[in-house]
Structure 1
């Protein structure tokens, strides 16, 4: 049985419109691949999506170095990681995520795509989304891949994402979903009770169209 995607909210329509606009703009950039082909967690925003969403229109602005240093280093390392914010996946993992994605490389999906997303693993003060312990995850999936499941982990209380490299042992599984039918917008609720302050929400999205696994680090601040 499929779980049901929640109805599209006005905010979701806004996210979709912005994403489609960005896809059009990306098509005009010669070094970008086809970023309209896959998907990403957009709320709380995964790192590549967050950097693109906030700086894609102004990514050459040197003020980013002071205002948003983690996104700055990511743009400097490989701008294609942001233009292709929805391409952070690995094929043929066979469900063995911990073997495919080693400690210290969780946010880059094990340096997937020839290391394109390696800057996502950098430790520092990434821009964080303020959320409550009960929150909603939202996936934007242009290709409507559907999902065999989502696994959502949250770092244990006491982990400091601004100074510590992320390992599997730092994560606690807080939600595993059932299947979702193909849709461009999928959302589901998550409970991460007992957390306060800065954390990483780590999401594994197992797409259902083929053995394709996506890995997302979302920086959050539990209020």
Structure 2
């Protein structure tokens, strides 16, 4: 999301279709967007991007054709989008590979009772255009700070449309030091030698406790 320091709260547009569908689905325990955590908003994480594009029109059936990966994610669990900033695991003790198995990286090892499982699905996720050198922007309303960020990018030849993401698909391209508490943290990474659709996998270890965020962002290296 370029040009916006802070994500807006989504305004829901109620068409006759959405009113009817909302009545039918009113029993679902949808939550408002969580306010205590954060995520990478540029290039947008998978669930943040789905919330940003469809949070005000999430029952629109056109999504199935226009944005099918977001459609399947909304159908699987709408709370994954409303809580785009809550994809974390506690008490990992820096053993990220042990906590998050292959094929479950984008859901943080099926954290939060499987709320984010749809984010692990291979497919044509919407991408953000980037060059070999680009910046990541974390938005964290609670200003947790960071012990570190680890940024991985998939290697050339990996196909995010058909292959589940594994640790062996990734190259570590940046590990940062610590950051003081702030709502907005931006830092640069470099991932040369890539073209086309790739996944940027960011691990953010917050500073207030052993709380670890696992964030998949889809990019297109131009």
Question: What TM-score results when the alignment is normalised by the length of structure 2?
Answer: 0.90
Query: Of Structure 1 and Structure 2, which has the larger fraction of its residues in helix?
Result: 1
Task: Report the Cα distance in structure 2 between the residues aligned to 1:131 and 1:183, rounded to whole angstroms.
Answer: 25
Task: Report the Cα distance in structure 1 between the residues aligned to 2:32 and 2:173, rounded to whole angstroms.
Answer: 34
Cα 1:99–1:33 change in 2 (3 A) is farther
> 1:156-175 counterparts in 2 under 5 A?
156-175=155-174
Q: CA deviation at 1:158?
A: 0.5
Secondary structure class of the residue paired with 2:56: helix
Runs of 4+ residues deviating >4 angstroms: none
Task: Report the Cα distance in structure 2 between the residues aligned to 1:109 and 1:212, rounded to whole angstroms.
Answer: 12
Secondary structure class of the residue paired with 1:183: coil
Q: CA deviation at 1:12?
A: 3.7
Question: Structure 1, residues 155-214: CA drift from partner, whole Å, max 9, x if none?
Answer: 001101011110000000000000000000000000001111110000000000000000
Q: CA deviation at 1:44?
A: 0.4
2:68 counterpart residue number: 69
Do residues 11 (structure 1) and 10 (structure 2) align? no
2:138 counterpart residue number: 139
Task: Report the Cα distance in structure 1 between the residues aligned to 2:109 and 2:215, rounded to whole angstroms.
Answer: 11
Task: Report the Cα distance in structure 2 between the residues aligned to 1:142 and 1:72, rounded to whole angstroms.
Answer: 27
Indicate conservation of the 8 Å contact 2:33/2:84, yes or no: no
Indicate conservation of the 8 Å contact 1:71/1:126, yes or no: yes
Q: CA deviation at 1:17?
A: 5.0
1:100 counterpart residue number: 99
Question: Structure 1, residues 79-123: CA drift from partner, whole Å, max 9, x if none?
Answer: 000000000000000000000000000000000000000000011
Gaps of 5+ in 2: 13-27
Do residues 124 (structure 1) and 118 (structure 2) align? no
Task: Report the Cα distance in structure 1 between the residues aligned to 2:174 and 2:63, rounded to whole angstroms.
Answer: 34
Q: CA deviation at 1:34?
A: 5.7
> 1:174-185 counterparts in 2 under 5 A?
174-185=173-184
Question: What TM-score results when the alignment is normalised by the length of structure 1?
Answer: 0.89
Q: CA deviation at 1:11?
A: 1.8
1:208 counterpart residue number: 207
Task: Report the Cα distance in structure 1 between the residues aligned to 2:103 and 2:135, rounded to whole angstroms.
Answer: 26
Gaps of 5+ in 1: 1-9
Question: Structure 1, residues 50-69: CA drift from partner, whole Å, max 9, x if none?
Answer: 00000000000000000000
Task: Report the Cα distance in structure 1 between the residues aligned to 2:55 and 2:32, rounded to whole angstroms.
Answer: 15
